[in-house]
Structure 1
Amino acid sequence: MFQTSIGPSGVSPGYMRPETAQGIFVNFKDLYYYNGNKLPFAAAQIGQAFRNEISPRQGLLRVREFTLAEIEHFVDPEDKSHPKFPDVANLEFLMFPREDQVAGRSARRINIGEAVAQGVVNNETLGYFIGRVYLFLTHLGIDKDRLRFRQHLANEMAHYAADCWDAEIECSYGWIECVGIADRSAYDLRAHTDKSGVPLVAHEKFPEPREVEKLIIVPAKKELGLAFKGNQKMVVEALEAMGEKEAMEMKETLESKGEAAFNVCTLDKVVTINKNMVSISKEIKKEHQRVFTPSVIEPSFGIGRIIYCLYEHSFNTRPSRDGDEQMNFFSFPPLVAPIKCTVFPLVQNQQYEEIARQIAKSLTVYGISYKIDITGTSIGKRYARTDELGVPFAITVDSASSVTIRERDSKQQIRVNVDEVASVIKEVTDGQSTWGDVLWKYPTHSS
């Protein structure tokens, strides 16, 4: 974490968070309660994160302070299906599985439903979020042909992760990781449980009590202490963490030979366990509920990187009307354009200016951001000026009863009554209709 100093003297060290997720994990008990003690559920957070970047560079791409948005979706580790997965299952987009990377092949278009069915993507919930991230980025205006999902190689994966994919966007700096979608298993909740002593677990109540066979491992701490002294705690923890297969194999070896070799990862060595050091058995118990630590699927969005790539993907040039110069413009989709429309009186005329102000008031009522320009500059220059800002629509007041609406990318215009113009802009900028829809509905206008 990024270390800093706190207080007037600077003697108290502080550490700035490298991600927003941990605040969600430590509040898991409350979040689980608020959701009626049921899984699955998700929590999202957006805020500043900090990394001790050695060499900040590349504009917004490599910085020490950045905006991070993360979703933590908690699921039952034994059931990672998702009820809404069919909504994205037919999506097809560029994916780069690790097998293709190792073989030197290029990214290829893969159906996300097939990728989950074939085990390329670990589970439905992970596949669902990959599909939703694809839809989110393309709706923002990211070029789908310059967007790919790359699976982490084995040496990139965190030791606890079940699977991890990065949404990478191609820009002038190459392929840039902008969103990470990871199945972090139950690692975070278990780590917080171990350090705090507070069990961060979920419960599944059974309709009827179930008889289950339980593995019972009881280390003999006295014997282990005599044998391993200061390392006793790590040996005990390693024995208690054994899986059923490993434990039963050790039991069989101890009964036949009296001792067994045992690898203790935290000591990074193999030790000898004698028969009197541990008791391993199975018992039949009645259970009324299942207690488990949930897994978490995490999409993590680097907001600055996404915005930077959106700028690059939206930047375009086209010849001026006379063809003597290149005009720059941003083709932001109406949904994300900071300014939705501009309002221009065609000429400096008191009546037109008054109508422009009335339209501006109605746009304010609808919550639409706009710029009003009543200067005497030519209409062509005003169009070019707002195209450079990425404003998708321009309203030109050229009569007392109706106005024209010009669309930035196509330069097509329609004629709309003054009292309808705000609702038309609202409809298109909210995504309820497309420009094609309104072009069909209203008469076109040629300048």
Structure 2
Amino acid sequence: MANIQVNKEAHPFDKTRLEALLNRRFFYAPAFEIYGGVAGLYDYGPPGSSLQSNIIAEWRKHFIVEEHMLEVDTTVMTPAPVFETSGHVARFADWMVKDLKTGEVLRADHLVKNVLEARLAGDKEARGQAAAPPKEDDKKKKKKDKAKAIAVKLADEVVTEYETILAQLDNYSGPELGELCKKYAIRNPDSDNEVSEPQQFNLMFASSIGPTGQHPGFLRPETAQGHFLNFSRLLEFNNGRIPFASAQIGRSFRNEISPRAGLLRVREFTMAEIEHFVDPEDKRHDRFSEVRDVELDLLDRHTQVAGSAKVTRMTIGEAVDKGIVANETLGYFVARIHQFLLKIGINPTRLRFRQHMANEMAHYATDCWDAEIQNSYGWTECVGCADRAAYDLTVHSAKTGHPLIVRQALKEPIVTEKLTAEFNKKTFGKTFGKDSAAIQTIIGGMDEALLAKLQGELAQGATTVTSSDGREFKLTPDLLTIEKKTFKQSIREFTPNVIEPSFGLGRILYALLEHSFYCREQDVERGVLSLPALVAPTKVLIVPLSAKPEFEPLVKDVSAKLRKAGIFSRVDDSNTSIGKRYARNDELGTPYGLTLDFASVQKGTMTLRERDTTGQLIGQVEEVIATVIELVNGTIDWAEACNRLPAYDGVQAVE
């Protein structure tokens, strides 16, 4: 039997059926639903929780285990001074506009994007151009917000303007978004009303700590600050050596302006973040050679500013060599992110890495690339990978006085010679009194050239220095001398830079569900989730053909052996047909099924079914169990299983 690959392109994506499946099988659902719900808050059900847990488990293996990272778990509640120092209180905001009549609040960049895209779609329709048929979710959305693609032909130059704006939309400031709304008459599509000038809205949830609220605080919008505040302890744990990385998986909170895109824009979500601390003078990575040849689709900032969204396919090694990606360590993590996303099942043709443009760059970043995954909502940022430089450690050190630095013993001491001023403290103090400290500060701030000039003037008998308020002070050789001294430096002190990969797990999970979903031609009413066994909530379905007592020992034995191998399985012994039992577990993404029939009881045989091909193999129970364990663990694929076990011809033993 060949290893048949399912052609999902032959089965058009149906968003309505996917949403119905996810809701019916309780992957996730709106939180507090029986109370009317709150936008942007979701609860995960059993399959959704298991899927997320499996993604996290693989994330831990792929990053924490393979990269020897230090895992931390820091608090969600954070005192206000931390985020005041980090810049989040001042800068962690989005631009919003209000409907001038209804007061409805809209995110400014999303409003511009939705309206211009609808106009471009209407232009294509008017020109009779072949366009992708509207998705079911688009139809529902258009009915709701009236942003319909009305067939109106636009002037060619207007089409070009719209496409250029959309290509660099993330680069616009709030006032610039306001100008776009005016210039292109962009209104609230729900009401056709004009909107206000954009205003900044801070996305953090404010709170207070203590019974009287004496300590203002915030729910963290990211997990990063916990790493930085614990840097000294982490460095000590790592025996004072860098580079090293810390990692954390936990909840974050953002008070989104208008959360409307399911799991893609929520107010409470799980993040997985890495802070890789590196020497600012050496951002090479020891393992970069392992990923140098990984090919990626890159959308750099220059292409976007030019008004294009065309990606360039190149290896990460070439991107770093050409300076497109800032350094090896940043490039290494971009490649590792790519490998992780493909491993868990993201479609590589719908994955790209987009570089941040100047205006959208976070206040702390020197370079940043987003892993964007295409789905029914468009290209969505799911992972950010930023070079945060030394910003965070520097500002927290300055605020608290705690040195967040690395002290590194030099292999060879650095010997330097430099001019140094030596003051005759007794005479100097008597001569200048309370001005002594100010004069010493002036001289202490001089560079080598100024000290050399001062030295020459003292050799002639006297010199003068001038204070900031214009007063002059005469200096003579009996008050100070300037001589060249030798200094030996055995310790180098520096503030490390930080490379930060940051994963939005909910977004990744949702994109994976879309990429995995399809409907079979012969049963379009039931969907299939083609999830890799690596992350599938249930790995194996056990299907006894009969509920008779003689099946129980065999079912228990198969279940126990899978459980011992660490493989999560479920038994479906309901009285529905075997076809329906398989179909409803295909909806859950279960990759393999084991059928126990009367031949299993009599002859010790068992069939193995693969979800996507629906192909079946048969063999002795022990042999089939060994094969399915290897399939789930990824040590063999379905083609190899087909070589090991004969195809099942459909002939079953009868009672």
Pair in the same fold by TM > 0.5: yes
Does residue 345 of the first structure (1) align with residue 547 of the second (2)? no
User: Which of 297, 313, 327 is the aligned partner of 1:123?
Assistant: 327
Residue in 2 that maps onto 1:188: 392
Residue range with higher mean Cα deviation, 208-217 or 325-334? 208-217
1:68 matched residue in structure 2: 271
Query: Which has the larger displacement, 336-345 or 435-444?
Result: 435-444
Question: In the TM superposition, what is the alpha-carbon distance from 1:112 to its structure 2 partner?
Answer: 0.8
Q: Which has the higher strand share?
A: 1
Cα displacement (A) at 1:249: 10
Q: Which residue of 1 aligns with 2:352?
A: 148
Structure 1, residues 6-37: CA drift from partner, whole Å, max 9, x if none?
A: 45565653311111111111111111111111
- Greater helix share, 1 or 2? 2
Q: Which residue of 2 aligns with 1:101?
A: 304
1:172 maps to amino acid: S
Q: Which residue of the other structure, out of 161, 164, 169, is the alignment partner of 2:365?
A: 161
The secondary structure found in structure 2 opposite 1:109 is: strand
One-letter code aligned to 1:63? V
- Aligned partner of 2:566 in structure 1 is 367
Secondary structure at the counterpart of residue 614 of structure 2: coil
Are the aligned partners of 1:61 and 1:305 in contact in 2 as well (CA < 8 Å)? yes
CA deviation after TM superposition for structure 1 residue 73, in Å: 0.7
Tell me which moved more, 207-216 or 97-106.
Answer: 207-216
* Equivalences for residues 32-43 of structure 1 within 5 A: 32-43=235-246
CA deviation vs aligned residue, 1:59-96 (integer Å, no higher than 9, x gap)? 11212211111011111111111111111111112111
Confirm whether residue 86 of structure 1 aligns to residue 285 of structure 2.
Answer: no
Sort the Cα spacing of 1:250 and 1:385 in 2 relative to 1 into closer, same or farther, 3 A: farther
SS in 2 for 1:42: strand
In the alignment, the residues of structure 2 paired with residue 176 and residue 160 of structure 1 have an alpha-carbon distance, to the nearest angstrom, of 22
* Paired position in structure 2 for 1:314: 516
Indicate how the Cα distance of structure 1 residues 359 and 62 shifts in structure 2: closer, same or farther if over 3 A, else same: same
State which of 453, 476, 491 in structure 2 corresponds to 1:289: 491
Given that residues 280 and 496 in structure 2 are in contact (C-alpha distance below 8 angstroms), is that contact kept between their aligned partners in structure 1? yes
Q: Deviations over 1:231-256 (max 9, x none)?
A: xxxxx9xx98xxx9xx789999x99x
What are the ranges of 5 or more consecutive residues in structure 1 without an aligned counterpart? 227-235, 260-271
Conserved 8 A contact 1:93-1:144:
no
Partner of 1:26: 229
Which residue identity does 1:430 align to in structure 2? N
SS in 2 for 1:110: strand
Distance 1:101 1:282, change over 3 A: farther
Kindly state the Cα deviation for residue 215 of structure 1 after the two structures are TM-superposed. 10
5+ unaligned residues in a row in structure 2: which ranges? Answer: 1-203, 422-433, 457-463, 474-482, 651-655
SS of the aligned residue for 2:518 comes to strand
What's 2:383 paired with?
179
Deviations 1:271-305 (A, max 9, x none): x998989xxx9986321121111111110001111
CA-to-partner distance for each residue in 1:347-391, whole Å, 9 max, x for gaps? Answer: 444333431221111111122111101222111111111101110
* Cα distance between partner residues in 1 of 2:360 and 2:418: 35
Do the aligned partners of residues 441 and 9 (structure 1) sit closer, same or farther apart at CA in structure 2, a change above 3 Å counting? same
Match of residue 445 from structure 1: 648
In the TM superposition, what is the alpha-carbon distance from 1:307 to its structure 2 partner?
0.7
2:637 maps to 434
TM-score (norm 1): 0.83
User: 2:112 is matched with which residue?
Assistant: none
Q: What residue in structure 1 maps to residue 52 of structure 2?
A: none
Q: How far does the alpha carbon of each residue in 1:200-244 deviate from its partner, in whole angstroms, 9 at most, with x for none?
A: 111222223212467999xxxx99x99xxxxxxxxx9xx98xxx9
Distance 1:109 1:28 in 2: 37
1:127-165 Cα deviation digits (max 9, x unpaired): 110000001011111111111100001112234422110
Number of equivalences? 413
Which secondary structure state, in structure 2, belongs to the residue aligned with residue 94 of structure 1?
strand
- 2:439 is aligned with 1:202: no
Q: 1 CA distance for matches of 2:484 and 2:366? A: 29
TM-score by length of 2: 0.58
- Corresponding letter in the other structure for 1:385: R
What is the CA-CA distance between 1:435 and the residue it aligns to?
1.9
Letter in structure 2 aligned against 1:189: L
Kept in 1: contact 2:419–2:451 (CA 8 A): no
Relative to structure 1, the CA distance from residue 377 to residue 282 in structure 2 (aligned partners, 3 Å threshold; closer, same or farther) is farther
- Counterparts in 2 of 1:283 and 1:113: CA distance versus 1, 3 Å: farther
Equivalence for 1:423: 626
**Which of residues 374, 377, 384 is equivalent to 2:576?**
377
Which of 583, 599, 605 is the equivalent residue of 1:402? 605
Distance 1:215 1:319 in 2: 84
Whole-angstrom CA distance in 1 between matches of 2:586 and 2:623: 23
Conserved in 2, the CA contact under 8 Å of 1:60 and 1:305?
yes
- Distance in 2 (alpha carbons) for counterparts of 1:5 and 1:344: 53
Cα distance in 1 for residues equivalent to 2:514 and 2:527? 12
Identity, % of aligned positions = 50
Contact 1:319 1:327 in 2 (8 A): no
